[in-house]
Amino acid sequence: MIVDDEAPARRRLRRMLERIEDVDVVAEAGDGVEALERLASHAPEALFLDIQMPGRDGLSLARVASLPPLVFVTAYDEHALAAFDVGAVDYLLKPVSRERLAAAVERLRERVAGPADAGLDDLRATLARLAGPSVAPAVASPAVASSGLAPRVGAREGASVRLFEVAEIGRFWSADKYTLFRHGGREHVLDESLSELELRLSAHGFARVHRSELVNLAWVSALHQEPGGVELELRDGQRAPVSRRMVAKVKRDLGL
């Protein structure tokens, strides 16, 4: 089921979902009140839910209602922590790419097919890193542990996609609405946003230290107090600024 107050957005998401094998869109709703009615009459297995809607927004709906496994689909990246706090399976930023949507559907399949807490390990790790030491540490995801595959990112090069292990990357940063990283002395561009990367990689040692910076903490070799604020120096010489509100948490994460 799709819940979004913008009809064109619903139509686009429906078309994309119905191109995925074994996915049927059984209902749509334009706001939270209509969503509750449709949920009762159609009993969908999964929900794609916008956040900012008139009346009851998506987050408040998720807090007060018993919902099926859900994916938030929004144009805003600042609600990620709140979204996973209410148990979201994934968080997609508009315009949604086919690859990210397919990945979200796979996560939904795992949640629907598995026990009640299946797929939550990475989300717990995300909350532990974002919320600080009061959140219990996460255990390794069974899927990751059993596969033995290190997490990777894919950067487009013409008609090809080149894969990089994230352990070989010191930082991701955003500039001019692009997500960038450096590898082998070259800069590469990703389709994923920093918020999407943060949610996926927080369990693997990456931390958001600034609105435009996601850093591999294992790469940090020094912390500098500069006139303009705190900067992290990475082992390859790159530097990443730390926002003032994140300084204390970054120091805790680094054991300082």
Q: What is the pLDDT of residues 2-33, one digit of tens each?
A: 999 999 999 999 999 999 999 999 999 998 88
> Tokens for 189?
């561009």
Averaged pLDDT for residues 128-132: 42
> Tokens for 164?
């990089």
Averaged pLDDT for residues 42-65: 84
Quick one: pLDDT at residue 114?
62
Tell me, yes or no, whether 222 lies in a domain: yes
E-state strands within the chain:
2-3, 28-29, 47-49, 70-74, 90-93, 152-157, 160-165, 171-175, 178-183, 186-190, 206-210, 213-216, 220-226, 229-234, 239-242
Claim to verify: residue 10 and residue 55 sit in the same structural domain: yes
Tell me, yes or no, whether 92 lies in a domain: yes
Averaged pLDDT for residues 156-172: 87
The CATH number covering residue 66 comes to 3.40.50.2300
Claim to verify: residue 6 and residue 115 sit in the same structural domain: yes
- Please check the confidence at residue 146 and state whether its pLDDT lies above 50: no
Claim to verify: residue 115 and residue 160 sit in the same structural domain: no
Q: Is the peptide bond before 69 cis (omega within 30 degrees of 0)?
A: no
Q: Measured in Å, how far apart are the chain's first and last C-alpha atoms? A: 47
Claim to verify: residue 185 and residue 87 sit in the same structural domain: no
The pLDDT confidence band at residue 148, using thresholds 50, 70 and 90, is very low
CA distance 163 to 6: 35
- Please check the confidence at residue 149 and state whether its pLDDT lies above 70: no
The CATH number covering residue 225 comes to 2.40.50.1020
Quick one: pLDDT at residue 242?
92
Q: How many residues does the chain have?
A: 256
Tell me, yes or no, whether 144 lies in a domain: no
Tell me, yes or no, whether 20 lies in a domain: yes
The pLDDT confidence band at residue 216, using thresholds 50, 70 and 90, is very high
Are 193 and 208 a contacting pair, CB within 8 Å? no
Judged by average pLDDT, the poorest of 91-95, 128-132, 236-240, 248-252 is 128-132
Are 68 and 46 a contacting pair, CB within 8 Å? yes
Element (H or E) spanning 15, and its range? helix 7-18
Claim to verify: residue 163 and residue 239 sit in the same structural domain: yes
- Kindly report the CA angle at 71 between 66 and 138, in degrees rounded to 5? 85
- Listed in sequence order, the residues at least 6 apart from 16 whose beta carbon sits closer than 8 Å to its beta carbon are 96, 98, 101
Chain mean position to CA 175: 18
Q: How far is CA 30 from CA 25, 180, 236, in A?
A: 14, 35, 49
CA distance 217 to 252: 11
Judged by average pLDDT, the poorest of 97-111, 155-169, 218-232 is 155-169
- Please check the confidence at residue 71 and state whether its pLDDT lies above 80: yes
Claim to verify: residue 85 and residue 175 sit in the same structural domain: no
Claim to verify: residue 6 and residue 114 sit in the same structural domain: yes
* Count of structural domains, the chain: 2
Tell me, yes or no, whether 16 lies in a domain: yes
CA distance 73 to 59: 11
Quick one: pLDDT at residue 220?
94
Tell me, yes or no, whether 84 lies in a domain: yes
Quick one: pLDDT at residue 136?
34
Alpha helices in 114-225 (DSSP H): 121-131, 142-147, 194-201
- Please check the confidence at residue 217 and state whether its pLDDT lies above 60: yes
Averaged pLDDT for residues 196-225: 90
Tell me, yes or no, whether 105 lies in a domain: yes
Segments forming the whole domain that contains residue 212: 155-253
What digits encode the pLDDT tens for the residues 98-126? 899 999 999 898 888 765 444 444 444 43
Tell me, yes or no, whether 130 lies in a domain: no
Claim to verify: residue 80 and residue 169 sit in the same structural domain: no
